[in-house]
Amino acid sequence: MRKLLAFIGATIGGYAGWYLGALVGFMTGFVLSMVGSGVGMYVAYRVAQNYE
């Protein structure tokens, strides 16, 4: 369950980062997508850990 939630969190975080960064430029979108994926994975993993 943790891995599934981490994947979902990374997807949502990456999309949010890309959306915000693409307003500025392509490379900014890419960098913010990577940061958003990491943050999304961390948050989703912590949620899953507390849920179990």
Q: Smallest Cα–Cα separation from 9: which of 52, 35, 34, 42? A: 42
Q: Which residues of 9-30 are buried (b: 16+ CB within 10 A; e: fewer)?
A: bbebbbebbbeebeeeeeeebe
The pTM score is 0.85
Domain of residue 26: give its range: 2-51
25-46 per-position pLDDT tens digit: 999 999 999 999 999 999 999 9
Q: How many domains does the chain have?
A: 1
When the pLDDT of each residue in the chain is averaged and rounded to a whole number, the result is 92
